């Protein structure tokens, strides 16, 4: 499992208000090595989610109103000194393709349903500490998917004339779908591929993905290039991690490529997945000298021309039926002739 799931480092005055935390790179340099050494991971996952890689990292569940679940988390440290970490839930949302933790202890429904015991742990040097996350969904909870974060937070002692305090947080995401019956199906489509040049001239592909299901998605995957100039092949190239799609939203997934690739044209095949769901799409792309080329509609292998496939299947059935009819007709004639004789 990945040890650090959601992380942020901020620098603030000791008396300052809450600071923004997001699924992003640290917003300030790490100057305290102890703060940089904290990690967190999910210990438990639902028994029926053993083949779902997202459920091994995040708290993902579909819950009926009135349900109570518990999950254990592990807070770890690589620091040579003990660390004191506060543990608490807070709000989160998905915007512009990113999973975002809210400012400070900002609350929402998910954070109000969630508690962590104990609320603080002393992590030994180079060791771990275990805590239990409990989610209690009220009986009158509204249906739909909601998000939150369980944070582990460590703070440095105030330093300097301004009493600056460094705050480091790492967290486990919560994706909770609320409602009766089974979980809504997750699904997505890859709509188009766009070839472009980054600011330094390197080639990249943007895969436009639309969430067509009933659950949020965390996307990962690869791109392969075939039938390039002279029949050259390249890849697979990994997609940039961190793209999260809210229900009904569309966002690009970026794949950075080798800078010495020829412009093309190339047959580009991108395979993306979120949990158990995997989709593949293809398009012919050519990298521009700069900027972005026009988006090219992507097609899914096996479903690019359903009509010919159906026609071929129907033709096979018709031929088989005709053969059977002919055979039966011959047998009936033979029987009649035999009786007549």
Return the pLDDT at 6: 53
The residues with which 92 forms a beta bridge, in sequence order, are 101
Distance CA 256, CA 239 (A): 7
| pTM for the whole structure | 0.78
In this structure, what DSSP letter does residue 50 have?
Answer: T
**Secondary structure of residue 41 in the 3-state scheme:** strand
What local confidence, expressed as pLDDT, does residue 252 receive? 96
Catalogue all structural domains in the chain, each as residue range(s) with its CATH number: 6-178 (2.60.40.10), 188-297 (2.60.40.10)
Q: What is the pLDDT of residue 325?
A: 42
Contact status, residue 39 vs residue 3, Cβ threshold 8 Å = yes
Q: Residue 262 phi/psi, 5° resolution?
A: -65, 160
**What does DSSP say about strands 114-117 and 188-197: parallel, antiparallel, or unpaired?**
unpaired
Q: How many CB atoms within 10 Å of residue 245?
A: 24
The tokens for 31 are 């100057």
The closest alpha carbon to 188, from 297, 79, 273, 307, belongs to 273
Give me the tens of pLDDT residue by residue for the chain, a chain 341 residues long.
444 445 544 433 333 323 333 333 333 344 555 666 889 999 987 767 767 889 889 999 999 999 999 999 999 998 888 999 999 999 999 999 999 998 889 999 999 999 999 999 999 999 999 999 999 999 999 999 999 999 999 987 777 666 777 888 899 999 999 999 988 999 999 999 999 999 999 999 999 999 999 999 999 999 999 999 999 999 999 999 999 999 999 999 999 999 889 999 999 999 999 999 999 999 999 999 999 999 999 998 754 333 333 334 444 444 444 444 444 444 443 333 333 33
Rounded CA separation 146/59 (Å): 12
Phi first, then psi: give them for residue 314, nearest 5 degrees: -65, -40
CA terminus-to-terminus distance, the chain: 82
pLDDT at 332: 40
Does residue 195 contact residue 264 with C-beta atoms inside 8 Å?
yes
Q: What is the pLDDT of residue 310?
A: 38
CA distance 152 to 43: 15
pLDDT at 44: 85
The pLDDT assigned to 302 comes to 57
One-character DSSP codes across 197-251: E-TTS-EEEEEEEEE-SSS-EE-EEEEEEES-GGG--EEEEEBPS--EE-TT-EE
């Amino acid at each position: 499992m990945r040890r650090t799931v959601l992380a942020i480092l901020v620098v603030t005055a000791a008396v300052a208000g809450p600071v923004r935390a997001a699924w992003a790179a640290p917003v300030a340099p790490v100057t305290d090595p102890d703060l940089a050494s904290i990690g967190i991971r999910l210990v438990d996952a639902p028994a029926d989610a053993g083949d779902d890689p997202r459920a091994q990292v995040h708290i993902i569940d579909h819950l009926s109103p009135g349900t109570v679940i518990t999950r254990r988390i592990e807070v770890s440290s690589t620091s040579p000194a003990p660390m004191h970490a506060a543990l608490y839930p807070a709000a989160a949302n998905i915007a512009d393709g990113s999973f975002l933790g809210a400012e400070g202890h900002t609350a929402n429904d998910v954070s109000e349903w969630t508690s962590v015991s104990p609320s603080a742990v002393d992590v030994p040097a180079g060791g771990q500490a275990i805590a239990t996350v409990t989610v209690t969904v009220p009986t009158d909870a509204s249906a739909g998917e909601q998000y939150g974060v369980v944070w582990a937070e460590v703070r440095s002692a105030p330093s300097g004339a301004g009493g600056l305090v460094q705050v480091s947080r790492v967290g486990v995401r919560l994706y909770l779908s609320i409602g009766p019956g089974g979980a809504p199906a997750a699904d997505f489509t890859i709509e188009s591929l766009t070839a472009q040049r980054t600011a330094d001239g390197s080639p990249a592909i943007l895969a436009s993905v639309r969430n067509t299901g009933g659950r949020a998605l965390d996307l990962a995957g690869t791109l392969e290039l075939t039938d390039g100039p002279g029949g050259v092949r390249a890849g697979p190239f990994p997609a940039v991690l961190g793209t999260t799609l809210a229900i009904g939203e569309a966002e690009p997934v970026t794949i950075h490529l080798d800078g010495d690739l020829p412009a093309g044209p190339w047959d580009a095949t991108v395979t993306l997945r979120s949990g158990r769901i995997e989709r593949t799409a293809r398009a012919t792309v050519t990298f521009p000298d700069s900027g972005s080329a026009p988006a090219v509609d992507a097609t899914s292998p096996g479903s690019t021309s359903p009509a010919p496939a159906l026609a071929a299947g129907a033709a096979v059935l018709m031929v088989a039926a005709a053969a059977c009819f002919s055979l039966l007709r011959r047998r009936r004639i033979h029987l009649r002739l035999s009786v007549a004789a």
